[in-house]
Amino acid sequence: MKTVILILQAVLVSQLAMASNYGVGGGVRTDSASSNTSGTNIGSSTNYMAGVIGQMDLVAQLQARAGFFYTQRSYQFNPLGGAQGAANFTYLDVPLGLLWKLSDYGGPFIGANFALNVSASCPGTCTGVSSMPMGWQLGAQFKFAPEWGAALYYESMSVVMTGIDQPKAIAAQLFYMY
C-alpha cells in the first residue's frame, strides 16, 4: 500500500508541475462523525487546513484537480466507560478529482480523497487508527477575481479510528491562484 501511495504522490507532483492553474490556499471545515459502538457519543468540531491545489486541462471543459493539504480533524469523543475529550488527528490529504469548468469562473467537481495519517492524540490511548482513510468529495470551485478563488464542498471518509465511523465534513477554502 505504501508503494501505491508513493507512486500516487510522484504522479501528483508531476501533474501539479504541468498544471494550467495552481495555487496556495487554506480553509475551515466542520467535521462530524458517528459511532457504531453502543454508548459512544461523537461530537463535531471546527478545524483548519492549508495546502496547494492545481488544475490541468484534459478536454474542452474538463480539468483534473489535484493537491496536497495539511488537514486537522477533531471530534469530541465520549466512549462509554472511557476517557472523554477531543480526539485530534492530523492528515496529509491528497484530493484527486474532475472539475467540470462551466465558465472561466469555475464549476462543480467530484473526486476521491486519500488521507495519510500524520499524528493522532486521543483521551486515553488511540487504538485502531486508520493510517490511510479514503473518501470522496463533491463541491464547487469558483473564481471571484483574476487570482482569487474559493471552493465549497462536502466530504465523506471511511473509518478514522475504531469507534469513530462515517466521518463527514463541510469545508470552505480560499485560494490564491498563479
- pLDDT tens digits, residue range 152-177? 999 999 888 887 888 999 999 999 98
pLDDT above 70: percentage of residues in the chain = 88
Domain spans, the chain: 2-177
**Across the chain, what does the average pLDDT equal?**
86
Residues 18 and 93: their CA atoms lie apart, in Å, by 20
Please give the distance of CA 101 from its chain centroid, rounded to a whole number.
21
Mean pLDDT over 26-47 rounds to 88
Instruction: Kindly report, residue by residue over 87-126, the tens digit of the pLDDT.
Output: 899 999 999 999 999 988 889 999 999 999 999 998 877 8
pLDDT of residue 15: 55
- Whether the per-residue pLDDT at 12 is higher than 60: the answer is no
pLDDT at 124: 75
Of 12, 54, 51, 17, nearest in space to 177 by CA: 54
The CATH architecture assigned to 2-177 reads Beta Barrel (2.40)
Dihedral angle sign, alpha carbons of residues 141, 27, 116, 76: negative
Q: How far apart are CA 22 and CA 65, in angstroms?
A: 10
Q: What is the mean pLDDT of residues 79-90?
A: 80
Report in angstroms the alpha-carbon separations of 136 from 91, 139, 154. Answer: 15, 10, 8
CA 165 to chain centre: 16
